[in-house]
Amino acid sequence: MQSRTGEISQSKEMLGKALAIYGELGDRRGAARVLIELGIAQRVAGDSECLDGFTKALHIYRELGDLRGQAAALTELGSMGWQIGPIPEAERNLLEALRIYRELGNRQGEAAALLYLGNVQLARGTLAAAMESLNEAEAIGTDLGHPVLVANSLLYKGDVQRAAGLLSESRKSIDSALQIYRKLNHQQGIATAMTYLGETLTLAGEHETADEHFRQALDMFDALGDPNGKAEALNSYAALARAGDHPDLARARYAEALRLAGEASSARDKADALFGLAALDEELGRRDEAFKGYQEALAAYQTMQTEPDMVRTQLALDRLHGRPRTPGEPPESPQECDGPIGTPSESAAAPRLGPG
């Protein structure tokens, strides 16, 4: 049986040949379609070169006046932008895609754009807007009888609810998504839902159950050959180790997440791992190492332009400096200073699941 990595590699090779043929034939629409498909294969493999393909496809579709093609390219650019930034540009792309899909009456495309938009809005810290987008996506999925759309919407709603501190609601939403994924034998969905349930359970203090969920998720991501999913799960699993006062275990997990994020070109997972390592150093009294780590994390978050992450990282740097807080500054909260779990950065489910 061929591995998922082998299947992706074979798919990329075949699509590359198809692209060359369309180029020789002068079929620009066909070439643009293959660029999108090739970009998706590259994205799944963690290859940031997919952005170039999506951008080229968008340019071709605009020249051809193909609105449906433009919306597809804009949606893919927005979904990838969630992982590597900049977030404001990803939001603009998704809003434009959403406008086009609504103009065309393409409800499945509209739901896909809304799912990704909800993730981006969560990353920006606009929780009410994120919930509104995801509720709309769920309603469309229900109307269309599309169970994966419904499950993905519920999964991402669970992330928003966790970020808002609504742990009971978060658990209910993610459990509902997990049940759908299991009925469909959707392995990627099951693994991702197990990760997010683990995060919610960690915040609820149910550490043993969270540990079981993370172990199962990691085994599944290994079987799927998904470095992005594994890096995200490891960051969350490391936070559980920190909560349980196991610093060596936490450091090993963050370090592995950092390595995988680098291989998969996942700026988000890399930044979260850097922040987690810095927070761990701070807890252990390693102030110099913590300061350097927070600086690296801040630079990564600034590249992505995720303001909530930038704020919490700057707060950590200020805390190390002992800088007095000026009137009007937000107070520090456990979520802001306790690592990636439960923050907008890690709470937003990665759109690797796709719209369904």
Domain count, the chain: 1
Domain assignment present for residue 98? The answer is no
The encoded tokens of residue 29 equal: 């629409």
Domain assignment present for residue 247? The answer is yes
Residue type, 44: V
CA-closest candidate to residue 256, choices 273, 244, 272, 243: 273
Residue type, 302: Q
pLDDT of residue 6: 53
Domain assignment present for residue 327? The answer is no
Q: d(Cα 11, Cα 74) in Å, to the nearest integer?
A: 22
Domain assignment present for residue 291? The answer is yes
Residues in the chain: 356
User: Where does residue 13 fall: left (phi above 0), alpha (psi -120 to 50 degrees), or beta otherwise?
Assistant: alpha
pLDDT in tens, the chain (356 residues): 444 555 555 555 665 665 566 665 577 887 888 788 877 777 766 666 777 788 888 888 999 999 999 999 999 999 888 778 889 999 999 999 999 999 999 999 999 999 999 999 999 999 999 999 999 999 999 999 999 999 999 999 999 999 999 999 999 999 999 999 999 999 999 999 999 999 999 999 999 999 999 999 999 999 998 888 999 999 999 999 999 999 999 999 999 999 999 887 788 999 999 999 999 999 999 999 999 999 999 999 999 999 999 999 999 999 988 754 444 444 443 333 333 333 333 333 344 555 55
Domain assignment present for residue 262? The answer is yes
CA-closest candidate to residue 191, choices 168, 169, 213: 213
CB 337 within 8 A of CB 316: yes
Instruction: Give 104's contacts (C-beta < 8 A, 6+ positions apart).
Output: 67, 68, 71
Enumerate the H helices of 65-86 as residue ranges.
67-84
Domain housing 336:
226-322+332-347
pTM here? 0.83
Domain assignment present for residue 26? The answer is no
pLDDT of residue 103: 97
Q: Which long-range contacts (CB under 8 A, 24 or more apart) does 76-80 make?
A: 76/36, 76/39, 76/40, 76/43, 76/50, 77/51, 78/113, 78/116, 78/117, 78/120, 79/43, 79/116, 79/351, 79/354, 80/43, 80/48, 80/50, 80/51, 80/54
Domain assignment present for residue 195? The answer is no
CB 98 within 8 A of CB 68: no
CATH number of the domain encompassing residue 274: 1.25.40.10
pLDDT of residue 215: 97
Domain assignment present for residue 201? The answer is no
